[in-house]
Amino acid sequence: MNLRKSLKAVAYGEVLWDVFDKEKKIGGAPLNVALRMKTLGCDVAIISCVGNDQDGEDIINHVKKLGLETEFIMKTNDYPTGLVEVTLDETGSASYIINYPSAWDKIVLNDQAKNIVKEADVLIYGSLVCRDQVSRKSLEDLLETKACKVFDVNLRKPHYTYEILEKLMQSADFIKFNDDELLEIASALKSPFTTIEDNINFIVEHTNASGICVTKGKHGALLLWKGKLYENKGYQIKVADTVGAGDSFLAALTTSLLT
């Protein structure tokens, strides 16, 4: 993909190991997005925190090999590197047990991390990192940036509240949901509507977001961009598993829209 310019992006949030039955894979939605944007030619940084342990060292070494800068991945002696137990059902859909507290719950910003966000074109953040007040406060500070703010809704029970989700949406220029997340949050905000299209408009009216994308699994996606609604019906594929699929989608979409 040939970009018209090198997009400067910062992803903020969890870096961790997804632990499957017989193996573990590097993960965390913000890191997945950052790694995909890097392959698309973007200049990308990730802000997070790992424990001062073998899992944390392995993450930093792995990220370096994949070409991302690691200077904004902080280390702590007080909390372990994040681990998530992943279970796949017969369709490849995943369920998660997310260890708490983990190092990424306790992200404390330094001046270098603050400055890299000031220089960015886009800041990408999710909802899971806000389950702890330490990382949530750091994100609130970063959201003062003038960069385009992309909010990746990532509902993982019991790690969210509607009050915090609403604040995160109010800070966003662009929001990405899946269809279940959109309908759940719209209902919590007292939406009278039942269709995806109506609830996209409902969210736009109740937030500062000018763009919204809703993924619908095998049925494709809807995109509201600059006042126009676009739809793609999806493509027939054989599913291996769905872990990180939405993250790669968001990375490609964000890169395309902003370049």
Q: What is the CATH number of the domain that holds 72?
A: 3.40.1190.20
C-alpha to C-alpha distance for 160 and 130, rounded to whole angstroms: 8
Contact status, residue 28 vs residue 56, Cβ threshold 8 Å: no
Please tell me the predicted confidence (pLDDT) of residue 101: 97
b/e burial code for range 85-106 (CB count within 10 A of at least 16 → b): ebebeeeeebeeebbeebbbbb
Please tell me the predicted confidence (pLDDT) of residue 2: 43
C-alpha to C-alpha distance for 68 and 60, rounded to whole angstroms: 9
Please tell me the predicted confidence (pLDDT) of residue 5: 64
Please tell me the predicted confidence (pLDDT) of residue 69: 86
Task: Please give the chain's pLDDT, 259 residues, in tens.
Answer: 344 468 999 999 999 999 988 899 999 999 999 999 999 999 999 999 999 999 999 999 999 999 998 999 999 999 999 999 988 888 777 788 999 999 999 999 999 999 999 999 999 999 999 999 999 999 999 999 999 999 999 999 999 999 999 999 999 999 999 999 999 999 999 999 999 999 999 999 999 999 999 999 899 999 999 999 999 999 998 888 777 889 999 999 999 999 9
Question: Which whole-number Å values give the CA distances from 231 to 15, 175, 252, in the listed order?
Answer: 31, 16, 16
For 96, the domain range is 8-258
Q: Is 194 within the bounds of a domain?
A: yes
Q: Is 21 within the bounds of a domain?
A: yes
Contact status, residue 81 vs residue 17, Cβ threshold 8 Å: yes
Contact status, residue 3 vs residue 42, Cβ threshold 8 Å: yes
Burial class (CB in 10 A: 0-12, 13-18, 19+), 43: middle
Contact status, residue 116 vs residue 142, Cβ threshold 8 Å: no
One-letter amino acid identity for 208?
A: N
Query: Tokens at residue 187, please?
Result: 């209902």
Q: Is 3 within the bounds of a domain?
A: no
Q: Is 1 within the bounds of a domain?
A: no
Q: Is 2 within the bounds of a domain?
A: no
Question: Which whole-number Å values give the CA distances from 190 to 53, 151, 162, 224, 244, in the listed order?
Answer: 45, 21, 12, 21, 30
- Predicted TM-score (pTM) of the model is 0.94
Task: Tally the domains of the chain.
Answer: 1
Q: CA 95, 97, 101, 107: dihedral to nearest 10 degrees?
A: -20
